[in-house]
Amino acid sequence: MKKVVTLAIALFLIVFLVSTPSVRAEEEIQLEGAKIFQVQCAGCHPGGGNIIRRGKNLKQRAMRRNGMDSIAAVAEIVTNGKNNMSAFSDRLTPSEIEAVSAYVLDQAATGWR
């Protein structure tokens, strides 16, 4: 019985140690995305809105309707721009674009709270 408990504790510690870095990495990406959004995007998209074109906001319903419901889709428009949306490929690195795209999707899913 003592061996089973020791083995269970060891397995728990291994799982905890292996999973913790990915959680930290996700949190760091979210923090980076939030910072980038505040500097680069919030001027036109405060609280997930859009001061230029109301229907092109960053709310989940509008993003789904406009085909912006994946990191790849959001990253594409952030990178290359479209219509009134400026391109950011000259201002942000690919990892920064991915971070801000993930942040936008996460915020859309939680209603920008």
Q: 28 has which bridge partners? A: none
pLDDT in tens, the chain (113 residues): 777 777 677 666 666 656 555 656 788 888 999 999 999 999 999 999 999 998 899 999 999 999 999 999 999 999 999 999 999 999 999 999 999 999 999 999 999 98
Secondary structure (3-state) at 85: strand
Q: From CA 82, how far away is CA 96, in angstroms rounded? A: 19
Q: From CA 49, how far away is CA 55, in angstroms rounded? A: 9
| pTM of structure | 0.78
Would you say 99 and 32 are in contact if contact means Cβ atoms under 8 Å apart?
A: yes
Cα dist from 14 to 10, 19, 42, whole Å: 6, 9, 41
